[in-house]
Chains A and B, each alone.
Chain A
Amino acid sequence: DAMVIQNPRYQVTQFGKPVTLSCSQTLNHNVMYWYQQKSSQAPKLLFHYYDKDFNNEADTPDNFQSRRPNTSFCFLDIRSPGLGDAAMYLCATSRGLGDQPQHFGDGTRLSIL
């Protein structure tokens, strides 16, 4: 059974049109992460939530924001997508920080027209 679920699997949006990607988890983990992965590259961490505490990576563009309304759900909002934002977006969870492994969803592939 899927434990980290991302919807939709494929998302197409227009240049400059806001888009929201969704992640939910059934693991009751404290930490949720969003990564951006471009073709043939390693995932790049955008931000994470530890419970309700938001932690942004220093080089994450302002265009990317996130919301975590409850333990189970986390959203990635891209306010004005540019062509360079086309990528796979991966959500991950972990029980805690430090030693806890991260469990990934299947990702949402975002295309920009």
Chain B
Amino acid sequence: GEDVEQSLFLSVREGDSSVINCTYTDSSSTYLYWYKQEPGAGLQLLTYIFSNMDMKQDQRLTVLLNKKDKHLSLRIADTQTGDSAIYFCAERSYNNNDMRFGAGTRLTVKP
């Protein structure tokens, strides 16, 4: 089946930028999402990008999409301790009901 892959762990210092990477294999992927999950909670939609876009910026968050390489990244500027969570990359094609998730990247922010 089609896969979505992420590195499992990322550790940064407070105030630094975090970059979480994701790769996917489905060339028909049309929509790509980033979700945040804090301990014991559900998934919070952070941002999403359509495949006809290269970049999307929303306050401290910047999403970059390289469609040729099927690579998606989420950059968090000025990372705070409250950003510590698991970040899931997910992708979906237009005619597919199934949203395919990566395994999640656990971001740890050290003071």
The verdict on A104 contacting chain B, using a C-beta distance below 8 Å, is yes
Nearest A residue to B97 via CB reads A97
Chain A interface, DSSP helix/strand/loop, else mixed = loop
A-B contacts, 14 of them at CB < 8 A, read A41-B104, A42-B4, A43-B88, A55-B97, A57-B98, A90-B43, A98-B94, A98-B95, A99-B30, A101-B31, A102-B33, A104-B35, A106-B41, A107-B40
Residues of B within 8 A of A (CB): 4, 30-31, 33, 35, 40-45, 48, 50, 88, 92, 94-95, 97-99, 101-104
Beta-carbon nearest neighbor of A2 in chain B: B42
Q: Which of A57, A98, A107 contacts B41 (CB 8 A)?
A: A107
Contact of B99 among A4, A6, A102, A106 (CB under 8 A): A102
**CB within 8 Å for A42 and B98 given contacts A99-B30, A104-B44, A106-B41:** no
Chain B proximity mask over A33-66: 1 for CB below 8 Å, otherwise 0 = 0000000111101001000000101000000000
| Other-chain contact of B88, A42, A45, A101, A105 (Cβ < 8 Å) | A42
Q: Is the CB of B50 within 8 A of A99?
A: yes
State whether the Cβ of A29 lies closer than 8 Å to any Cβ in chain B.
no
**A interface residues with partner B (beta carbon < 8 Å):** 4, 6, 40-43, 45, 48, 55, 57, 90, 92, 97-99, 101-107, 109
